[in-house]
Amino acid sequence: MLSFATPLWLVGLALLPVLRWLHRGGQHRRSVPVSRLGLWRAAAARPPAAGARQPPDPAWRRRALLAALLFVALAGPQWPARHEPVTLWVDDSLSMLTREAQGTRLAIGMAQARTLLAGSAPADVEVRALSQPWQRFDSASDANAATLAASAGRRPAQPPPAALLRRDRRHWLLTDGAHAAPVDWPGALQPDRRIQVGGTVRNVGLERLSARRQLADAGQADLLLRVSNGGTAAETRTVVISGAAGEVVRRVLQLAPAGSALVNAVAPLAADVRATLQPADALPEDDAITLSLAPLRKRRVATDSTCPAALMAAVQAHPALALAPANATDVQAVLDCGALGAARELPTLRLWAERTPAPARGAVQWSSAVEGSRRIRLDAEWLWLAARLQAGVADTVLLAAGDEPLIVSRAGTPKRLETGLDFAAMGSARRAELPLLVNLMFDQLLGSRLLEELALVDRGPASSWIAPATRAASAAARTPTADRHGDLRFTRDATQPLLAAALLVLLWEIAALCRQWLRLRGPAQAGAE
């Protein structure tokens, strides 16, 4: 039933009789032909009662219609929706890309959803992916399905946020049921309609490929591949890992249902590595995985040639650092011992040497800015200083011995670390702390853990699961979101169509006025001639 948001505006409809009155017929519409104007005064017009009253100008109907449309539009008409608005929640887990006979689960599901939506002809459909619930698509079209498929599996599918489970909408779920999260809706709710797709239950997938730089040989990377059987039957697969120089590992794996295996390999650190499963299966997207080893490549450090040899040697020997000429441009950091001149817009480690080296005094103290796990055991007696640093209020003293700052992180960008440590003196002791200290400084400078860096592609622990799980018991205890609607009516704002109609009528009115103006303008022009 029609309702109004602000029905008070309907009072304006009372003006319609006035409009009619304005268009009334009668005396004022009659013409009285006379031969002379002087006779006008003597002319005796018949009173209105003397004859039949003329009908009102038919234009009043058009105008009354237009006024009525606008008054009703102002009242905010709400039409009862013939079909309820629907939010289609799409499980965009990787398993939704599993190939069934008619296509991917996602494509099949979206087609089913379209059919169902077309059958019920909902007025308002929005589509939301469970991995990105706050992003809204306006239909279940092929284009949107393709967009969802392109991003499927990139982020874990989560239950819909409670804030988006609006009571004034129906909530449908498209899923294959392979994962628990998409069906575990908040507040023990369950979808008003669940579109379940998928029948394939066999799949083996590459779950994770990771790499670390070998500390002993910085040109090599240790690889670890995790392969999982996400199906319901035992499977045999051949895993092939390839690097820049070709195949590095080929191994045949026997995997029990829900089982997994780890494969180790070593590959050159030069390029990407790729792992594949043979033969491919119903979910080819998880049968290959490519890992970029770029994060493990060495950082080039533009180095001042006047730096102490021990420091240069430590940087050179660092698995994640490489020395570069002072004027090199493709560098990530600068090591400046005073001969580089103007500062560059790069993270810079500045060594100061302004006095005769002397051993540090006092206990080694750390700033809380240096995480406990990054701290190294330092013997204050081993530390020699060639400069005394002054720390400003905004600077951070990362390391101190007694009251003397040893390493200071200057405020501002790019990052700048300064130290007064004398690496020439400390290097003569040939202690293991020196390379660790250099590593610590470059860790702080570059904001990373150089020795612990990983290259990682992780699809998640259940990424290869494609078989639907049984959830009848949990579903029984859940409340359909439809039950929450109660007597809530789904309505639809009808202002826009009314305004559109009003515009058409107004155009008609304008056309009529144009004709009228032309008609009235014609006799006047004739008289003037």
Interface residues for another protein in 188-227 (CB under 8 A)?
208, 210-212, 222-224
Amino acid at 317: A
| Footprint of another protein on 156-195 (CB under 8 A) | 161-164, 166
Minimum distance from residue 107 beta carbon to another protein (Å): 24
Give, in order, the Cα–Cα distances in Å from 247 to each of 275, 305, 519: 9, 41, 91
| Footprint of another protein on 442-471 (CB under 8 A) | 449, 451-452, 454, 456, 458
Minimum distance from residue 3 beta carbon to another protein (Å): 14
Between 147 and 365, name the residue whose CB sits nearer to another protein: 365
| Footprint of another protein on 245-304 (CB under 8 A) | 262, 264
Q: For the CA atoms of the chain, what is the radius of gyration? A: 40
For 365-368, the CB contacts below 8 A with 24+ separation are 365/399, 365/400, 365/401, 365/402, 366/398, 366/399, 367/396, 367/397, 367/398, 367/399, 367/400
When binding is defined by CB under 8 A, the residue of 71, 185, 384, 442 that contacts another protein is: 71
Beta bridge partners of 385: 358, 421
User: What is the spatial distance between Cα 247 and Cα 224, in angstroms, rounded to a whole number?
Assistant: 15
| Footprint of another protein on 474-513 (CB under 8 A) | 493, 495-496, 499-500, 502-503, 506-507, 509-510, 513
First-to-last C-alpha distance (Å) of the chain: 61
Binding mask 99-138 vs another protein (x if CB under 8 A, - otherwise)?
Answer: ---------------------------------xxxx--x
CB distance 206 to 459 below 8 Å: yes
Of the ranges 19-27, 143-151, 419-427, 464-472, which one interacts with another protein (CB under 8 A)?
19-27
Closest CA to 94 of 12, 154, 175, 165: 154
When binding is defined by CB under 8 A, the residue of 142, 217, 247, 379 that contacts another protein is: 379
Half-sphere exposure of 260 toward its Cβ, with a 13 Å CA cutoff?
Answer: 17
Minimum distance from residue 166 beta carbon to another protein (Å): 6
Residue 364 is a binding residue for another protein (CB under 8 A):
yes
| Footprint of another protein on 401-440 (CB under 8 A) | 402-403, 432
| DSSP code of residue 293 | -
Between 36 and 377, name the residue whose CB sits nearer to another protein: 377
Between 53 and 167, name the residue whose CB sits nearer to another protein: 167
| Total of chain residues touching another protein, rule CB under 8 A | 83
Amino acid at 393: V
Minimum distance from residue 393 beta carbon to another protein (Å): 4
CB neighbour list of residue 95: distance below 8 Å, 6 or more residues apart: 105, 153, 176, 178, 179, 198, 203, 230, 283, 463, 464, 465, 466
Between 32 and 510, name the residue whose CB sits nearer to another protein: 510
Strands 348-351 and 416-419: parallel
Between 472 and 520, name the residue whose CB sits nearer to another protein: 520
- Give the H/E segment covering residue 247: strand 246-255
Beta bridge partners of 358: 385
Minimum distance from residue 150 beta carbon to another protein (Å): 16
Between 356 and 368, name the residue whose CB sits nearer to another protein: 368
- The token pair at 461 is 């622990």
CB distance 313 to 299 below 8 Å: no
Closest CA to 426 of 512, 520, 313, 504: 313
User: What is the spatial distance between Cα 116 and Cα 230, in angstroms, rounded to a whole number?
Assistant: 30
Between 151 and 305, name the residue whose CB sits nearer to another protein: 151
Of the ranges 155-163, 197-205, 239-247, 480-488, which one interacts with another protein (CB under 8 A)?
155-163
Between 51 and 517, name the residue whose CB sits nearer to another protein: 517
**433-446 helix and 309-317 helix, angle to the nearest 10 degrees:** 70
Helices within 75-139 (DSSP H only): 105-120
CB distance 491 to 80 below 8 Å: yes
CB distance 419 to 445 below 8 Å: no
Between 201 and 506, name the residue whose CB sits nearer to another protein: 506
Between 233 and 514, name the residue whose CB sits nearer to another protein: 514
Minimum distance from residue 51 beta carbon to another protein (Å): 22
Minimum distance from residue 239 beta carbon to another protein (Å): 16
Between 103 and 186, name the residue whose CB sits nearer to another protein: 186
Coil, helix or strand for 497?
Answer: helix
Between 153 and 319, name the residue whose CB sits nearer to another protein: 319
| Footprint of another protein on 303-362 (CB under 8 A) | 362
Of the ranges 66-74, 302-310, 318-326, 482-490, which one interacts with another protein (CB under 8 A)?
66-74
